[in-house]
Structure 1
């Protein structure tokens, strides 16, 4: 769900827009966080395996949810949010890569679009990534530790370049406190 709706630049976050998944499950981001909605997408070859009446959901086909999802997808398309995610993600990785050349705390930055992570130079059982996330919070930025020594950054698609640089300043300041 974290990778949905162009946060990694392309629609299905496959790594390349040419990849067509057999089944694509969408949720959370499909409505832009406005209304609970999800979807399962597949071609007829896959979907025809499921016979009518063998599946369903209490709120399946909800017209309000469908309208919200369509409107959210139109915003993503019309406002160029996939392109924005790609552009800002490249800036994020470039800036953090520059920072970590002299860092003893961060080993690696990786990501696609606006979904990025830094790998902390410590083992997975360490609390260092957690401690850095707490300090990031205290300094004004929310991030999530994952897999022990990895910090994930997943800002909203509507983030501006100015906001990105504010976040980068907070990240660099915070990391420097642990050097």
Structure 2
């Protein structure tokens, strides 16, 4: 059962050890799994999704891939094939600070996806990008090893796993 972001905020907002941060409401849900969460792996890249494919091809162990795509609105960093790959490899979802494509198909895949918007153009394929670096967008800094929880009401990040 997925934890609700509203309940997490109510329970942990005043607990310093949780370091709970709520992202500014700028992401749109596209995946077939509206509620998802898990330990974070970060990627920082720009208009190039080769590293996204590399990570989603590896075992995800229920984790969430957080991609800082620089907020680019010029191409998509994730589509239906990569979402299906992530689902098959045990990732719970992806947060994309950039665009996705194949939105109708994404809605049918049991994989969480939140992104800025859609764009039909595919990304470059140069293999550039950094893994496990701190990324900052939507008013929050996120590191690999943080825990992220997403649902219809938003996205929250904590320094550790949270329970209710």
Mark yes or no: TM-score above 0.5: no
Larger radius of gyration: 1
Task: Normalising by structure 1, report the TM-score.
Answer: 0.21
Using structure 2 for the length normalisation, give the TM-score: 0.23
Higher RCO, 1 vs 2 (CA within 8 Å, ≥6 residues apart): 2
Larger helix share, 1 or 2: 1
User: Counting strand residues as a fraction of each chain, which structure ranks higher?
Assistant: 2
